[in-house]
Amino acid sequence: MIEPIKRIDLNRLFESHREEYLDAIAKACDAGSFSGGIYADKFDEEFATYCGVAAATGVNNGTSALHCAMMALGIGIGDEVIVPANTFIATAWGPTYAGATPVFVDCTSDTWELDANKIEDAVTKKTKAIIGVHLYGQPFDVDEVTKIAKCYGLHVVEDCAQAHGALYKGRKTGGLVDIGCFSFYPGKNLCCFGEGGSVTSDYWPYIEHIIRLKNHGSDIRYHHDEIGYNMRLEGIQGAVLSVSLKYLDAWTAKRRTIGKRYDREIINPYITLQRHPDNTETVYHLYVVTVPDRDAFLRHMDSKGIMCDMHYPIPCHLQKAYSFLNYKRGDCPNAEYLAEHCCSLPMFPELREDEIERVIEACNSFRM
Ligand SMILES: Cc1ncc(COP(=O)(O)O)c(C=O)c1O
């Protein structure tokens, strides 16, 4: 029987640095530094340096990072925030938790990122911000989105959950717009062993506000100046992340080697790849393709022992949770096409040479 190839294999990541991770966890335990604390703070500094931003503050997950970003920008009830229809739902949870309404805008038909040309039609008097997502690891069209935002006096937030270290015009994500929001969920390019996230910015007052918000609205113990939350990054996750960060660039290089091979060697008229604009350097978080008959493709890959996934099978505007917003099929046709035809191939740094070749061979032998 052929050995199955997983879409992602976190065991290989842990095993490749087992001792170092266990040592880091033990140190956080020995220090009794569990909620925030020295290891979380140390990681904040390292991550801010890595992203090339003035400051970063760790939070308990990427969804909280987006929620905090909205609150720091003063976004709340009655406001609207533009969000791509093709993203993980958490991008929309941020504005929703803050009391605002997400307004979904379609993606382009080839990069699959937020379509800057469709943003202006969605702007109203209530619009306060645009959240762009560096989807699948590839930066969105930051300059175009920022240009429109400037015209209408809007904030821009980048959802970097899938794009740690990705480059737009040579600049790293996290410092490209007003606020960057990261997730360290297991499986992300930079991941911890549980839940974690970070908010980055070059504007210190945003970070200062988020440090208070995530800590029960408090700067001084037991003095609560505003309604706050418990959204701190755990110390153990900070310690794990400091280890992971040391290897991030090496992992990214491996993802790029695999991704570029897929880009070059998957040659099949039935399979469409994501377009990578010249001014971006993707970090290949996910390797997503589209196929006209996804069910047939998934059966074919399964028969070859290759496990695939879908990111994402239902676009945000058609999710039941947002049915009260009255979107309908046809509102975001590119996102809807993707939802029905997308398929994610195995992609993680520890994929072996023979496995990469098997994935390419399986893709190229698919017929309809
Ligand atoms: C694009 C995007 N935004 C936000 C999130 C939310 O991050 P988390 O799962 O850490 O809350 C994720 C992660 O799953 C994501 O992929």
Domain boundaries, the chain: 10-106+113-242, 248-365
Arithmetic mean of pLDDT over the chain: 98
- What's the pLDDT tens digit per position in 295-311? 999 999 999 999 999 99
In this predicted structure, the answer to whether residue 336 has a pLDDT above a threshold of 90 is yes
pTM over 0.95: yes
Q: Is 90 in the pocket of ligand 1 (CB under 6 A)?
A: yes
Separation of 114 CA from ligand 1 center, angstroms? Answer: 16
CATH number at 248-365: 3.90.1150.10
Mean pLDDT value across residues 273-299: 98
Q: Is 87 in the pocket of ligand 1 (CB under 6 A)?
A: yes
Candidates 3.40.640.10, 1.10.10.10, 3.40.50.1950, 3.40.47.10; correct CATH number of 10-106+113-242?
Answer: 3.40.640.10
In ligand 1, the atom with minimum distance to the C-alpha of 195 is 10
Q: Is 133 in the pocket of ligand 1 (CB under 6 A)?
A: yes
Confidence of residue 258 (pLDDT cuts 50, 70, 90): very high
Q: Is 159 in the pocket of ligand 1 (CB under 6 A)?
A: yes
In this predicted structure, the answer to whether residue 1 has a pLDDT above a threshold of 90 is no
- What's the pLDDT tens digit per position in 244-256? 999 999 999 999 9
Q: What's the pLDDT at 2?
A: 85
Q: Is 173 in the pocket of ligand 1 (CB under 6 A)?
A: no
- What's the pLDDT tens digit per position in 6-29? 999 999 999 999 999 999 999 999
DSSP codes of every residue in 83-148: EESSS-THHHHHHHHTT-EEEEEPBPSSS-SB-GGGTGGG--TTEEEEEEE-GGG----HHHHHHH
CA pair distance 102, 131, nearest whole angstrom: 10
